[in-house]
Structures are given as C-alpha cells and as structure tokens.
A and B are shown apart, each in its own frame.
Chain A
Amino acid sequence: MNRQKSSPRFRFVGAAALLVLLALLAPALREGDQRLYLLAGGVTGVMLLCMIVPARLFSLDRLILSLALYLGAVGILSLAPANPDAALMQLLRCSVGVVALIIGAMIIRIITPSMLTAGISSFLGLLFLAGSLLVRDLPFSLTEAALILMVISFSSLLACHSGTVALIPGLIGTVLLLLQGMTVEAFVLALTVLLLLWSADGRLGIVLAALSVFVAMFWGAERLGYLPALASAEEHSLSLSTLVSAGLFGSGEAAVLPESALPVSSLLYPLSENYGLVFTGLTLLLYLPLMLRGASVAGTARSRFHAVLALGCVLIFSLRIPAGLLAAFNVLPLPLTPLPLLTDSLPNLAAQMLTLGLLCGISSVNEADLAEDAHLAMLAK
C-alpha cells in the first residue's frame, strides 16, 4: 500500500491542537475544574474550526491564520492554570480577534488606493490618537488601531501621490504619540514610515529629509519634557525575575502572579511562569515564520498599494517584538510593552488580528492574480 504523505499544514494544525488540548487538560486533571474541561474542549474545537472554515470561506492565508490562532491560544494557556475565569475571558477576546481578522481580510478587497481611503483612514487614525491625548483616563487603548489606520493612509497616499504627501499623516501621528509620552509606539510608527518610504519611493533625498524631521521631533520632545522617564530599575528587575523564576521548563505548579508583578497587560510573564523559558522562547520564535510569510506576501503583491500596505502591516507587527523583548529582558531601559497577540487588552488584540487579516486578504488577492495569470498563459498557448 502507498502511504499517504501528510502535508506540513496538517502536521502543524494537528500538533497545535494536541498541544493546546494537553496543556489545558493537565490542570483540569489536578483541579477537576469544569471550566478547565470546558476550555480544553472549547479552545481546541474553536481553533480547529477556525483553521478550516474561515480559511475556506474567505480564502485566507492558512499559515498566517494558523499561527495567529495558535498564538492566541497560547495566551489562553498562560492564564488557564491559575485563573480559569480570566482564561475564559481571553477566549472571548480571541473570538472577537478572529472576527476582526476576517473583517481585515474582507476590507482589503473593498478598499482601493484613493484620496477617499487616505482621507478616511487618516482622519480616524488621528482622531483615535487625539482622543487618547484629550481623554487621559480612557479605559482602553486605541493606539494599535490608530497605527494600522495610519499605515493604510500612508500606503494609499503613496500609491496615489508622491512620498512627500504621504509623509504628512505619519508626521502628525508621531507628534501626537510623542505628546502622549508613547515613545515606543512613536518610534515604531516613525521607523515604519521611513522604511516604507525608502522601499516604495527610493529617493535618498526624501528619505534623509524625513529622517532628519523625525530626529528633530524626538529631540524636541525630549527637550520639552514630553518623553517620559525611562523604565525604573525596580520595574525591570521585577519583570526579569518573574520571567526567569520558573526555570527552563516551568515549575509544574499553577503560578498566580500578584497584580504588581504584571506591569503591563502582557501575557509573557504568566506564560513563562507556567511553562518555563524554553517553551516561551520556542513560542516566541513562531513570530519568525509569521513575519517571513508577511514579507513574502508583500513581495509578491501585484499592486503598489497592496505591497506597501502588507509591508507596513509586517513592520508595525514585528517592530513591537524586539521592543517588548528588549524591555522584558532588561537589555534596554524601554517601557514594558506587550508582545503582539500575547496581550489581554481587547482593542490591542483586535487591532493586531485586523493587521493579520489585512495580510491574509492581500495574500488571497495575490493567489487570485496568479490563478488569472495561469489562465491567461493557458489561453496564450
């Protein structure tokens, strides 16, 4: 008999589902908690269902979708042993995130590079940033969503006009972020805009001029006292000790971290506490195929708008990872920021899923274009 060779997709999906199931069943066996059994069945089932049905219904990129779902499930795993209620809430957040991902994939088929697209996305992005500036005690953060909107606006303007016009919303957005004291987010936006300008416009003079403007902005913000003091040593030592306290393979006990041990809404700390540094490190390495896939989608996009937008999404998503890790491991005295998809903030999670949805949509458009090219090639023969 011929043995059917399984595809890498089936192997990944199967292993991910099995890992999530076992990781949720293990604490359930100890506690006998009904919520943990519910989570074990629910998370695995929802993950498998979402990896199959939306991917087929909406022609989503399966690698990006599977990685996003797995990283979302890891967020639930990190909370489940110590706090099943928080894990259930995280499951609901992830479900909203999946909806946002599908919306992102649908949006990409609707929007076209035009002044209308640029105007609406710029307006909403700047409104979100200005709203956060005016209402300081807002219970949720809209910064992630604003960054995505700024990237859409930048891509649309760059596709319709030259790079100098496209720079304007990016500059205003950076100023608003600096006024709020969000150094990391401002840095991510500025670096994204510069790299996109360099890759899409290519004129060294424009890029250097933009770079000097951004440097002047950061220098001015620092002079005027808008940049907050860098993270304190106590905060860093606390986060570092939380990360390494469970050792390489975890303590085997459900770790209940005190509120003070979680300076930000990052799930990196409970993940490391429950499963150890090796599991956490290997999970974080899964960002690498996600970024590579995103870069591949950007490189194969046919239209300038899609290419710039995909590259912007990848940059916005991936530039947060080194910033978060460098801060968590006390390499740089940066403010601690949650890693993408490993956060318990609903707006941030939804915005990050929306970013991945945009990438899935662009990948779907690329596949359709390639299929049409194959059709034309067949006609030409």
Chain B
Amino acid sequence: MFKVSPEIYKVISTTSRYLFAFFALMLLLFALVWLYDERRKRRERLRYLPEAGNIGEMVVISGSDQLPVDTWFPIPREGVLGSLRSCDLVVPCPGVRARHLAFSWQDGTGLIIKPFSGCETFVDGVSLLTAEKSDMPVMVHGSCLRVGSAVLRLQLLSALEHTNRPFAPAGSSQEYAGAFAAQQPQPGIPFPQESLFTDPRVPGYMEQPVPIEQQVPTEQPLGGSPADAASLPDFSPDSVAVPPVQAEQPPVQQAASRRKRADRWKEDFSE
C-alpha cells in the first residue's frame, strides 16, 4: 500500500499532533454549541406550549389559610400529592399527610388515584380506602377530590375533550348525589356566544345552528349579583360529571394519532 518517506512523515506527524488537539477542541466546542442550541430550541418550543406535560389543573374549592380558595395547580401526567414540598402537588391542609396519594393519568380512563396506606381520600364522595378495587372511581373532568380538609376539583385541558378518548365516570352519577352538595358552586369559564372557529378556509364551519338539546348552557361570569347567583348552574357532581358519549351527540372531532413514522422521515429529509 501507499506510504511516504520518513522525512515527509515526520512533517505530517509533527503537524498532526497539533492539528488533532485543535480538532479535539473544536469538537468540544461544537458539542457544547449543539447542546445549547437544542436547549434553546426546546425552550422556544415550550414557550408556545405552556401546558406541555400537564393534563389539566386542580382548582381549590375548600382549602386552608395556606391554601386559599380558587388556587389552581397544574397537574402532570403522574405524581404524588401531599403536604411535603417535594411533592408534585403540595396541599398544605390539615389532614393531608406528607405523601398522601399518588396519581397517574391513563388515556381513555382518566386520572387514577392511589392513596398511600391509611390516607383517607374521597373522589366524588366515594372513599378510596373502602371502595372495591373493581369499583374504584377515577377522576374525570369536574370530579372532586377530598384529602384532609381540602377539596379540589379537576379541570382537564379542553384539548383532551377533542381527542377520540372517551371519558366515562366509573360509577353512576347518582352515587355522587349529595356528596358535595354543601359545597359552594364554582362558576366555570363562560362559553363564548360566537364561534371560536373563524378560519376563512372553512366556510360555514360551526355556523349552522346547533339544536337546543345539544347546546352547552351558557354560564354566568364571575362576580354576578346575588340575584344572579340563584340562576347559577348547578355544579354538584351530578351535573359536573361528564356523561358517556351518546350516539345522538354531535360527532367529536377526531384527533389524529401520534405522528406516523413516515412523517418523521419527511421531516428528516427536509433537513
């Protein structure tokens, strides 16, 4: 095979000793720049996705001095609730233990609550310590969780309702009747009168009148007069629990599943 004379090799060797060190320095710098660049891109991406990683929020209906009413927590897909600062959901209320319960989100089912040993927990009035394993209630949109003296209501991200994941409460809504009847009803987010979809590329979309029986009741905004309070919708768990999807209901917008591998290939090649 091809080889050079010792004199030429000596020049190559001397040069390469410094050249390789320079290359190693460049590689280190390139790797650090690459790392920084990826972090920056991820941060920018997350800026437009403030709810990334969360499934919704817990709103405090009844709390304590350290946990005022209407405080809300973002809910990650799984974590631990307790009074300890290292918990994912810190609920500093009497009766809440350092690590009270673990929760995890399961697609198609809801938020599954697993209380730790001896930690009394109620979901929509049903005690999880005494409930049968087969009838263990899960939390869906509007479900109420009671731990110690705190009562929290789960509000899922609206996008989760647009997916093709059916949410059905585990138990009948009649079982929850009266469980939290004494709670102060919390007005929800006002539903807009006009259509949210104003994309001109879709003419007439969402502009047809919706039948009365399918319309979502318009709720009153916060801070209404006492007279208006009587007309507030009933937010007892009976009405809050989302019923199973019925056949006569308008078809839910189907969400596309995760991106196909072919799409990723397209993105890769587009680079």
Do A375 and B256 touch across chains, with their CB atoms under 8 A apart? yes
Say which residue of A282, A296, A374, A376 sits within 8 Å of B157 (CB atoms): A376
Which of A17-25, A100-108, A128-136 lies at the interface with chain B? A17-25
CB-contact partner of B26 in A15, A63, A292, A375, under 8 A: A15
Contact of A67 among B31, B79, B99 (CB under 8 A): B31
Residues of A339-376 whose CB lies within 8 A of B: 368-376
- Interface residue? B133 (CB, 8 A): no
Indicate if the CB atoms of A380 and B255 lie closer than 8 Å: no
Any chain B CB within 8 A of the CB of A109? no
Please give me the residue from chain B that is nearest to A11 by CB atom: B30
Chain B residues near A368 (CB-CB < 8 A)? 258-259
Q: Contact at A293–B35, with CB atoms within 8 Å?
A: yes
Contact with A along B1-28 (1 / 0, CB 8 A): 1111010011011101111110111111
- B31 touching A63 by the CB < 8 A rule? yes
Q: Is A237's beta carbon under 8 Å from chain B?
A: no
A8–B36 alpha-carbon span in the complex (Å): 10
B20 touches A22 (CB 8 A): yes
CB distance from B198 to the nearest CB of A (A): 11
When chains A and B are docked, how far (Å) is the Cα of A302 from the Cα of B86? Answer: 17
Q: How far is the CA of A368 from the CA of B261 in the complex (A)?
A: 11
Q: Is B66 an interface residue (CB 8 A)?
A: no
The answer, among A7, A11, A16, A369, for a CB contact under 8 Å with B53, is: A369
Q: Which of B38, B51, B258 contacts A372 (CB 8 A)?
A: B258
Find A202's partner among B52, B86, B271 (CB 8 Å cutoff).
B86
Within 8 A of A (CB), among B14-70: 14, 16-21, 23-28, 30-35, 37-39, 42, 45-46, 48-49, 51-53
Residues B1 and A28 in contact, CB atoms below 8 Å apart: yes
Given A19-B27, A22-B19, A252-B14, also A302-B34 (CB < 8 A): no
Q: Is B253 an interface residue (CB 8 A)?
A: yes
In the complex, identify which listed stretch (B124-132, B144-152, B158-166) lies at the interface while the others stay far away: B158-166
Q: Is A379 an interface residue (CB 8 A)?
A: yes
The interface residues of chain A lying within 8 Å CB-to-CB of B98 are 203
1/0 per position for B113-125, CB-CB distance to A under 8 A? Answer: 0001000000000
**Interface pair A252/B31, CB less than 8 Å apart:** no
Docked complex Cα distance between A379 and B51 (Å): 13
Docked CA distance A377–B255 (Å): 11
Q: Is the CB of A26 within 8 A of B12?
A: yes
Tell me if A125 counts as interface (CB < 8 A to partner B).
no
Whether A289 pairs with B31 at a CB distance below 8 angstroms is: yes
Bound-state CA distance A371–B48 (Å) is 12
B264 at interface, CB cutoff 8 A: yes
In the bound complex, residues from chain A placing their C-beta under 8 Å from that of B31 are 12, 63, 67, 286, 289
Residues in A whose Cβ lies below 8 Å from that of B49: 370, 373-374, 377
Whether B12 contacts A373 by the Cβ 8 Å rule is no
Query: Which residues does chain A contribute within 8 Å of B38, judged by CB atoms?
Result: 63, 293
Query: B78 contacts A276, CB within 8 Å?
Result: no
Confirm or deny: B213 has a beta carbon within 8 angstroms of a beta carbon on chain A: no
A317 interface residue per 8 A CB criterion:
no
Among A56, A279, A304, A370, the residue within 8 A (CB) of B20 is A279
Least CB distance from A267 to B in Å reads 15
Min C-beta distance of A110 to chain B, whole Å: 17
At the interface with chain B, which of A30-38, A214-222, A224-232?
Answer: A30-38
Q: Are B23 and A18 in contact (CB under 8 A)?
A: yes
Closest to B53 in A: A302
- B21 pairs with A278, CB closer than 8 A: yes
Question: Which of A34, A282, A374 neighbours the largest number of chain B CB atoms within 10 Å of its CB?
Answer: A282
Q: Mark B242-271, 1 if CB is under 8 A from A, else 0.
A: 000000000001011011000011001001
Judging by beta carbons under 8 Å apart, are B51 and A249 in contact? no
> Which residue of the partner chain B has the closest CB to A290?
B31
B87 at the interface (CB under 8 A from A): yes
Interface assignment of A269: CB less than 8 Å from any CB of chain B: no
Please give the distance in Å from B29's CB to the nearest CB on chain A.
Answer: 9
Whether A283 sits at the interface, judged by CB under 8 Å, is yes
Collect the chain B residues with CB atoms within 8 Å of residue A278's CB: 21, 24
Q: Which residues of B contact A288 (CB under 8 A)?
A: 32
The residues of B that contact A7 with a CB separation of less than 8 Å are 37, 271
Cβ contact within 8 Å between B35 and A63: yes
Closest to A77 in B: B20
Does the CB pair A59–B264 fall under 8 Å? yes
Assembly CA distance A370 to B49 (angstroms): 9
Task: Check if B77 sits within 8 Å of A376, measured CB to CB.
Answer: no
Interface: A154 (CB within 8 A): no
Q: Told that A28-B3, A202-B86 touch, could you supply 12 new A-B pairs with CB distance under 8 A?
A: A8-B33, A30-B6, A56-B264, A63-B34, A162-B116, A202-B87, A249-B21, A286-B27, A286-B31, A370-B49, A371-B258, A376-B157
The 4 nearest A-B residue pairs measured at CB: A202-B86, A32-B3, A380-B159, A8-B34
Residues of B within 8 A of A (CB): 1-4, 6, 9-10, 12-14, 16-21, 23-28, 30-35, 37-39, 42, 45-46, 48-49, 51-53, 76-79, 84, 86-87, 98-99, 116, 157-160, 162-163, 253, 255-256, 258-259, 264-265, 268, 271
